[in-house]
Amino acid sequence: MMSRGVICVQGRELCETLVNEAVRLGADEAEVCYTRSRKLEVMFEKNDLQVPKGDHYEGIGIRVIRDSKQGFASTNILSRESLDDTLRCALAIASASPPDLNHWLPEPSKITPVSEIYDQAAEDLELQEAVLRGKLLVEAARGFDSRVTVDSAAFGVETGTKFIVNSKGVQAGEDSSYIWCVGMGFARDGEDVSSFDAEYVVSCRLHDIDPQAVGRRLAERVVKSLGAASVPGFKGSVILTPYAGLDLLIEPFVFSINAENVQNGQSQWKGKLGSRVSSPLLSITDDPTLPAQAGSTAFDREGVPTKPLAILERGVLNHYLYNCYTARKDGLESNGHAVGTDQQVPGIGVTNLVVAPGEISFEDMIAGISRGLVVNRYSGSVDPVSGDFSGAVKGGQYIESAKIVRPVKEVMIAGNIYELIRRIIAVSKEVITLGNVSLPYVAIDGCSITGK
């Protein structure tokens, strides 16, 4: 196996060679993105092991700008002939594209490495060990309660190297690892079938992943939702767990702060910088510097250094997310939020979103609600443009007289998320990290709840 040091040198040298060749052939500016990765994943269905999957990937994406016109092409065949064809293809696309003065590449800036985002143990993990770790999840769920069925589960690792080199002098390289463990399942007690549920954890460090804990948490949740019944419709308070918050809070939030959506007039928060857009209980930071977190990185897809960004502070909107193109349109510098792979031109996205915790416990949140609902998972639509949503509550629990009374089923919730986040009444001090998002429980008043 080729050493990682050799991979780094070869990847950087390949990028430099292609950038120089692009300029020689007439590009005003050129950028090359190189990635190399190894992926290993074992999967289980209906408690049984499926065929494991593993692959190695190596690819190059070439972006050129000539006469303010942009061209891009990519390949995962790194032969001399293929690379030459890819470069010439990018140049040809640029020649045929309309000019746009907002196309530009960044100048080099100091990049500070992020700690603990690469784990050699993940690189060294072999198939047999991955299978054993996946089985631990299934066995833990089944061992918790025999009524539990693990519909599907997976344990996987991906390690890789990426480089961004451009003709202005940017040279950025980074190694990373990504380990995930996920289980999905339900519980059955005779004719009573629980809600389908999921549990997962991801990290950059192998020792952070506890498959048995994932299996136990999954089993506990699906067993808890046995014996569910519907409730009459009402308008009241809902507590969104972090799992439901991903769909109902985070997705529209990320959409609304994307500078491209703002510039296209699709964001509800266009022209709202410096304004209050939510309850003062809500603060959200994007932080790429967190050790061992899934979204951490020292630089973005364009080689721009990343840094923490307090996007929402006590309900006040402070920032939109920019890559170089959208920043130039607004007369700004990129704030390091270009995302993507070697297979595409840079888009816009987040790194690690951190929703600040509150000062109240989850139990005390429940004690403050006379009638409401805990929404464990949400299954339905959320229109990020309008904010309107409507969907089914999964694994929900009915609150009455400040206590959880019973699990619920056949219950829907609806409303407008941009209006409801102004009516947040509590944020928990407990926080759960799901992938690259850290979320507390969030209680919102005035949500429409429909039952039977």
Q: What are the pLDDT digits (tens) for 27-54?
A: 999 999 999 999 999 999 987 888 788 8
Distance CA 45, CA 289 (A): 36
Q: What's the confidence (pLDDT) of residue 6?
A: 46
- Give yes or no for residue 5 having a pLDDT over 60: no
pLDDT tens digit sequence for 121-140: 999 999 999 999 999 999 99
What SS3 state is found at 295?
coil
Tell me the pLDDT tens digit for each residue of 262-274: 999 999 999 999 9
The answer to whether residue 304 scores a pLDDT higher than 60 is yes
Q: What's the confidence (pLDDT) of residue 53?
A: 86
| pLDDT of 4 over the 70 cut | no
Task: Report the distance separating Cα 78 and Cα 55, nearest Å.
Answer: 16
Report pLDDT for 60. 97
Task: At 211, list the tokens.
Answer: 């498959």
Summarize the confidence of residues 177-192 as an average pLDDT: 96
Task: Report d(CA 435, CA 441) in Å as an integer.
Answer: 16
**Orientation angle between helical segments 211-224 and 127-144, nearest 10 degrees:** 30
Check if the beta carbon of residue 126 is closer than 8 Å to that of residue 8. Answer: no
Of 425, 410, 318, 299, nearest to 365 (Cα)? 425
Answer yes or no: is pLDDT of 72 > 90. yes
Write the DSSP string, 164-190.
Answer: EEETTS-EEEEEEEEEEEEEEEEEEET
In whole angstroms, what is the distance from residue 110 CA to residue 66 CA?
27
> According to the model, what pLDDT value does residue 46 have?
84
Task: Please report the pLDDT score of residue 2 as a whole number.
Answer: 46
pLDDT for res 75: 97
Tokens for 286, please give them. Answer: 């994007």
Which residue bears the tokens 């784990």?
A: 119
Which region, left, alpha or beta, applies to residue 393 given φ > 0 means left and ψ of -120 to 50 means alpha? Answer: beta
Going by C-alpha positions, the residue among 422, 115, 425 that lies closest to residue 239 is 425
Amino acid 1: pLDDT: 45
Gyration radius of the chain's alpha carbons: 24
Average pLDDT, stretch 218-226?
94
Cα–Cα distance for residue pair 348/74, rounded to 1 Å = 19
pLDDT at 50: 85
pLDDT for residue 399: 95
Above 70 in pLDDT, residue 351? yes
